[in-house]
Amino acid sequence: MSEPSTDPGGNAELREFLRSRRARITPEDAGLPPRSGTRRVPGLRREEVAQLAGVSVDYYVRLERGRGTNVSEGVLDAVARALCLNDTERGHLFALARPTRTRRRPMPAQRVRPGLYRILDTLTGNPALVLGHRSDVLASNRLARALYTDFEALPQRERNMARFVFLDPAARELYVDWERSARGTVASLHLYAGAHPDDPRLAELVGELSLRDGDFRRWWADHDVLRRSHGSKRYRHPLVGELTLDYEALNPTGDPEQTLGLHTAEPGSPSEDALRLLAAWSSPPATAPLPDHAPGEG
């Protein structure tokens, strides 16, 4: 049973994020002595978070209701420690509690530098793509399009990794652990939302995915956040079968809001063989060499 407090005003994202983090922490996890009796709420009570953070209950209640203003860095740090937030969650809390609000308007279109395009083209043996705001796919090389889908053939607004993961039926077959990948996609999008709460295209994307996919709608309500840096994923490709690829997420110098995603296979592994086969399949046909002279000439 959840606590019976609702507040339609205030910072809704901050309110729901703090509630979701509080619900997952038990008193034992937080270092509090166990108490007898039945607890009415999952996780910590508000007064327990206030006690751990060293603030008054009234102050924490206002903060969790999204009513806190001019919250100090010290208080946010104390709340982050009380809720056992990791570094990514802590940064998200700061972004939500101290937002820079602007009039909701379209954000400037992102551009990929010509040099970055050339880098993608040289990576003929590794899938590589550039993601921007809202996980928009800004650029991809031939092998990334063979692995996922031909993003460049899609209308501009549909070139988005979250849309691919949730709305393209092929994605559920491609990812061996689709749920894990999909949850990570939602968590990455939530992290972006904390930094860009007034992005109208984000609101449009979240609204569309929430309407069309029940999994997205349910996981969005969890308020998990994730910053992708590296890891591995397993795929089941219709042409080359199963392969495991490691990925690295790199931010180009000068544009931290673009991410270059590189995929590699372990040398000598079956995955490397499968990736090589996929690269051969996706390569353009060889052009026949031109003759030394035109037909019919001496």
Is residue 6 scored above 50 in pLDDT? no
Q: Are 261 and 247 in contact (CB under 8 A)?
A: yes
In angstroms, the CA 137 to CA 260 distance is 10
Give the chain's mean pLDDT.
88
Please spell the DSSP secondary structure of 92-105, one letter per residue. HHHHHHS-------
Q: Is the dihedral of CA 148, 149, 150, 151 positive or negative?
A: negative
Q: What pLDDT shows up at residue 198?
A: 87
20: DSSP letter = H
pTM: 0.86
Kindly indicate the confidence band of residue 9, based on its pLDDT and cuts at 50, 70 and 90.
low
The vertex-175 CA angle with 275 and 13, nearest 5°, equals 130
In angstroms, the CA 225 to CA 114 distance is 32
Q: Are 161 and 150 in contact (CB under 8 A)?
A: no
What angle, rounded to 10 degrees, do the helices at 87-97 and 178-195 form?
A: 40
In angstroms, the CA 243 to CA 237 distance is 8
Collapse the DSSP code of 246 into the 3-class scheme (helix H, G, I; strand E, B; otherwise coil) and give the result: strand
The vertex-183 CA angle with 103 and 88, nearest 5°, equals 60
pLDDT tens figures, 75-110? 999 999 999 999 999 999 999 987 665 556 677 889
Place of tokens 């400037």: 108
Is residue 132 scored above 90 in pLDDT? yes
**What count of other Cβ atoms lies within 10 Å of the Cβ of residue 28?**
9
Q: Is the dihedral of CA 274, 188, 177, 220 positive or negative?
A: negative
Q: Are 116 and 260 in contact (CB under 8 A)?
A: yes
160: DSSP letter = B
What phi and psi values does residue 229 have, to the nearest 5 degrees?
Answer: -130, -45
List the beta bridge partners of residue 263.
247
Please spell the DSSP secondary structure of 238-292, one letter per residue. TTTEEEEEEEEEEPPTT-TT-EEEEEE--TTSHHHHHHHHHHHHHSPPPPPPPPS
pLDDT tens figures, 172-187? 999 999 999 999 999 9
